[in-house]
């Protein structure tokens, strides 16, 4: 129980810091006290509830998760390679030149 409460307190602090950083870094983000409190508590509760569930699912299906990670990493590598090749391709010479 102490571990859960400590984790919850850390999540509250991190959610608060994240919202304050977003308010200071990004233009157009405004933070009001009531909205700030609600957002921090919603994020912390969601993290506290979902984190153990995700951990248990990942532990139970570790081989499937690792296989999925391999597929995602391979497809992202192929996609980034394709976009890199497109970005660095030299333009074709104009017709009739040369």
Long-range interactions of 67-75: CB distance < 8 A, separation 24+: none
pTM of structure: 0.53
**pLDDT tens across the length of the chain (98 residues):** 888 888 889 888 988 998 888 888 888 878 888 888 888 888 888 888 888 887 787 778 777 766 676 666 666 665 555 554 444 444 555 566 55
Give the three-state DSSP class for 94.
coil
Collect all residues with Cβ–Cβ distance below 8 Å to 43 and sequence separation of at least 6. Answer: 11, 15, 18
Which two three-digit tokens encode residue 38?
Answer: 């609600």
- How far apart (Å, rounded) are the C-alpha atoms in residues 23 and 14? 14
- The confidence score (pLDDT) of residue 84 equals 47
Collect all residues with Cβ–Cβ distance below 8 Å to 30 and sequence separation of at least 6. Answer: 23
């Amino acid at each position: 129980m102490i571990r859960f409460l400590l984790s919850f307190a850390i999540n509250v602090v991190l959610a608060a810091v994240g919202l304050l950083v977003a308010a200071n870094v990004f233009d157009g983000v405004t933070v009001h006290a009531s909205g700030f409190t609600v957002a921090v508590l919603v994020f912390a509760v969601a993290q506290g509830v979902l984190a153990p569930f995700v951990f248990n699912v990942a532990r139970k299906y570790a081989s499937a998760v690792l296989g999925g990670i391999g597929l995602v990493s391979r497809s992202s590598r192929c996609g980034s390679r394709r976009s890199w090749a497109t970005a660095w391709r030299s333009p074709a010479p104009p017709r009739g030149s040369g």
